[in-house]
Amino acid sequence: MRGKGHYLVFVDVKSPLYMMIIKTKPNVILLRKIKLSDRNCFAKWWRDKELLKLTSGILKLISDKEVGKYFLAILRSKNDYNFIIIIDKKVIGHISLVKRKNNWYETQIVIGEKKYWGKGYGPKAISSLIKKAKRLGISKIYLEVRPDNIRAIKSYENCGFQKIKTIKYPKNKYLSETLRMELKN
């Protein structure tokens, strides 16, 4: 009798037909390239005050026009890698690698659907993204996180990131400081 297996599926950005499947525990996670039909998910997440408190801290309501502008910028980006995180055919969040200076890439992740928080899907998505980045020759990856977001910091440490320094943003009234973490090579 075959055991009940669960898999992590990664869709390669360069080829829509190529998938990497990795056996994991609880459910099937898929990372796929963001597409136009994902706009409504982003609109929902970018307007969720609880999520905003954990990310930018800007609680001002974003207009449909602004959602469209920001979302199209993500879709049109040629230097960045942006993915939707799917679990059991349900969109639960997004993850990205954004090109920065000196061959550094910043990773950003949001599990936008709160009922999926604390179930280990974020670290699995990050681990999958890191494997993809390494295949693409990307080794310099960092992230910035709110210093009081302890749950996220522990997840990032479990994925191989280490605390580097606190960065002050004195002109940003919503996010005055972040903790920079870098992937250990």
As given in the structure block, the two tokens for residue 127 are 């681990």
Using an 8 Å Cβ cutoff, are 109 and 95 in contact?
yes
Look at residues 58, 3, 29, 2 and name the one whose alpha carbon lies nearest to residue 124: 29
Q: Tell me the one-letter amino acid at 19.
A: M
Q: How far apart are CA 119 and CA 162, in angstroms?
A: 22
In a domain, 169, yes or no: yes
What domain range includes position 73?
6-183
In a domain, 1, yes or no: no
The helix (H) or strand (E) run that includes residue 11 is strand 6-11
**Confidence (pTM):** 0.79
Q: Tell me the one-letter amino acid at 143.
A: L
Look at residues 29, 34, 33 and name the one whose alpha carbon lies nearest to residue 13: 33
Task: Report the number of distinct structural domains present in the chain.
Answer: 1
pLDDT 10s digits, 15-66: 444 444 444 445 678 899 999 999 999 888 888 877 777 777 666 777 889 8
Sites in the chain below the pLDDT cut of 70: 1-27, 57-59
As given in the structure block, the two tokens for residue 88 are 């059991």
CATH code, 64: 3.40.630.30
